[in-house]
Structure 1
Amino acid sequence: MKIAIFGQAFNAQTQEAFVVIWHYLNNKKDVTVCIISEFNNIIQENKPHNFPDSQVTNTLDSSFNLLISIGGDGTILRAITYVHDKNIPVIGVNTGRLGFLATIQSQAIIPALDAIFANSYKISERHLLTIQTTPQNDAFNTLNFALNEIAISRKNTTSMITVETQLNNEYLTTYWSDGLIISTPTGSTGYSLSCGGPVITPDTNSLIITPIAPHNLSARPLVIKDTTTIQLKVDGREDYFLVSLDSRIATLSNDTIITIKKADFTIKMIELLEESFLDTLRKKLLWGEDKRN
């Protein structure tokens, strides 16, 4: 079995989780552990004296059986850029705060790994979005996909922008707002939720269009089929605007036409058998915590 480990920090919480995982895996027979080089560089800068070294890899290929992400949901969003379409299952150990994707708490690492090695888990297929631009932008040559959302927002201005929106070549509306979010079901608990969008279960075949602070109060989030092709055209007082794919940001000019579709591959998230999205949702959003209940 070949396992990769990724993180974006090496603070006390991450280090504690990493040490538990590293010792567990290195005591297993026929297991090869590789640290993704980006994470290894952070470890080398911050590791204590006599901290053990590990094998390092720059990329992932189909020989890997698992990717362990140590951090929060943002770390998983970064980790999937290494996974891409290679069908490597991903599991997240949560050393951050909230965590709809990174669901394994630090104190439950060993039981979770025991379950994985016993094949006592399920796979949650998560759909992604892809983006194309006309004219083509080099920023999206390879990492042109997002697990949570693709967001359009204003740049270098406090003025609103307009986002002309078409669905399957049919005009929908022109949003007059600070921006627009196109979200997957996975991303429905992220930026879209903060802007008033609905929560959608991960197995739903839908996308969400959520305006960011719209000027028109009648502009509301819209749920559409995930087979829809979305085309966007931005205008505003400034000549440029921002596009973010999860946490990766690029600047585009107002003459750019953006086309967004569902990607032709998925990310496989590992879930333990006793876990469920509804259970995570209830815990993270504190549903039922009202004292009247």
Structure 2
Amino acid sequence: MKIAVYGREFHPSVIPYVQHLFDSLAAKGAELWIYGGFRDFLNEQRVVYPPNLNTFVAKEGLPADVGFMLSLGGDGTMLAAVSIVADSGIPVAGINFGRLGFLADISKDDIEVSMEAIFRGDYDIQKRTLVSVESTQAELFDGNHFALNDVTLFKSDSSAMITINAHVNGELLNAYWADGIIVATPTGSTAYSLSCGGPILMPGSGNFVITPISPHNLNVRPMVISDEVELVLDIESRSGKFLLSCDSKTTAVSSDIRLTVRKAHYQANLIRLTNYSYFATLRNKLLWGLDARNY
């Protein structure tokens, strides 16, 4: 089986787990395709990987019959991996070497049993909606303008707020006076949007959430909208520009640009082992049901 591997630099303490993973893949005769920059890091750490190994830097460098991609790291690494496979349909499984692990849900202590299950085909594919941001006035993020978590607008190099005029299907929703706004998918509703007071959306619910960042008017609250609508954003800023992020990608954009935000034309395919439970993940990661008085 051909397997793609994506990762970024991480703490040396997890190197033994990475070595264990490659030893397991080698024993199964897997043909590996490793992200070029990550291979350089592995060489520096003297990780031994199978000899039948190739490198890639983009989805175009992967063979059409790749079975799946392994993301080695935290949720940020998982977002980058999903961005690389883009609309290729390649399923992605995340081994968590980070902290939270909402997306990268395979524990580093369960590598062996998890790889056995995946090679047996004992898993489900969970489809996750992505959000797209575009402008007819500029090319954004070199065409890679899709996000699994969220599209976010921030004020730039000024302490002054920005004004974001948001239209839903051509009708004015609100003029947000704020430090910015977040347009989050259900996947991203447990990320930055949640920390700014947004609600949690269940994957597959068919919604996005618009969450203002430090709004001037305290009665302006997060709003859930259908993911079938077209959201058009016009920005006013004293500095003449603002920051636009698309998951882990960020760029400075002129405030005379109009942005269109809508559901992406494809979905991400996430590998979930059969013992995976979304609600159990919420309970465990958010410490629901625990009495803080016991700590």
> Smaller-chain TM-score range?
over 0.9
Other-structure match for 2:40 = 41
TM-score by length of 2: 0.94
Deviates more, 1:57-66 or 1:15-24: 57-66
Specify the SS of the correspondent of 2:263: strand
CA distance in structure 1 between the aligned counterparts of 2:261 and 2:207, rounded to whole angstroms: 13
Q: Identify the match of residue 107 of structure 1 among 106, 109, 118.
A: 109
CA RMSD of aligned residues (A): 1.7
In structure 2, give the amino acid aligned to 1:35.
I
State the 1:291 CA deviation. 5.7
CA distance in structure 2 between the aligned counterparts of 1:134 and 1:184, rounded to whole angstroms: 23
Other-structure match for 2:20 = 20
Name the CA shift for 1:170/1:42 in 2 (closer, same or farther; >3 Å). Answer: same
In structure 1, give the amino acid aligned to 2:234.
K
Is the contact between residue 3 and residue 33 of structure 2 (CA under 8 Å) also seen in structure 1?
yes
Other-structure match for 2:136 = 134
Kindly provide the CA deviation profile for residues 173-216 of structure 1, in whole angstroms up to 9, marking residues without a partner as x: 10000000000000000000010000111121100000000010
CA distance in structure 2 between the aligned counterparts of 1:77 and 1:49, rounded to whole angstroms: 24
Gaps of 5+ in 2: none
Is the contact between residue 10 and residue 42 of structure 1 (CA under 8 Å) also seen in structure 2?
no
Other-structure match for 1:144 = 145
CA distance in structure 1 between the aligned counterparts of 2:119 and 2:106, rounded to whole angstroms: 15
CA distance in structure 2 between the aligned counterparts of 1:114 and 1:156, rounded to whole angstroms: 50
Gaps of 5+ in 1: none
State the 1:285 CA deviation. 0.2
In structure 2, give the amino acid aligned to 1:21.
L
Alignment of 1:45-60 (within 5 A): 46-48=44-46, 54-60=53-59
Percent identity at matched positions? 39
State the 1:49 CA deviation. 8.0
Deviates more, 1:203-212 or 1:33-42: 33-42
CA distance in structure 2 between the aligned counterparts of 1:238 and 1:291, rounded to whole angstroms: 44
Q: Identify the match of residue 79 of structure 1 among 78, 81, 90.
A: 81
In structure 1, give the amino acid aligned to 2:46.
P
Other-structure match for 1:11 = 11
Specify the SS of the correspondent of 1:85: helix
State the 1:117 CA deviation. 1.2
In structure 1, give the amino acid aligned to 2:76.
G
Other-structure match for 1:189 = 190
Other-structure match for 2:93 = 91
Deviates more, 1:247-256 or 1:61-70: 61-70
Specify the SS of the correspondent of 1:162: strand
Specify the SS of the correspondent of 2:88: coil
Q: Are 2:278 and 1:277 aligned?
A: yes
CA distance in structure 2 between the aligned counterparts of 1:49 and 1:82, rounded to whole angstroms: 23
Is the contact between residue 130 and residue 266 of structure 2 (CA under 8 Å) also seen in structure 1?
yes
Kindly provide the CA deviation profile for residues 74-103 of structure 1, in whole angstroms up to 9, marking residues without a partner as x: 001111121000111101111111111011
State the 1:148 CA deviation. 0.2
Name the CA shift for 1:130/1:255 in 2 (closer, same or farther; >3 Å). Answer: same
CA distance in structure 2 between the aligned counterparts of 1:11 and 1:292, rounded to whole angstroms: 33
State the 1:145 CA deviation. 0.5
Kindly provide the CA deviation profile for residues 85-134 of structure 1, in whole angstroms up to 9, marking residues without a partner as x: 01111011111111110111110111111111111111110110111113
CA distance in structure 2 between the aligned counterparts of 1:214 and 1:291, rounded to whole angstroms: 30
Is the contact between residue 163 and residue 232 of structure 1 (CA under 8 Å) also seen in structure 2?
yes
Name the CA shift for 1:96/1:89 in 2 (closer, same or farther; >3 Å). Answer: same
Is the contact between residue 19 and residue 49 of structure 2 (CA under 8 Å) also seen in structure 1?
no
How many residue pairs get aligned? The number is 290
TM-score by length of 1: 0.95
Is the contact between residue 15 and residue 47 of structure 2 (CA under 8 Å) also seen in structure 1?
no
Specify the SS of the correspondent of 1:20: helix
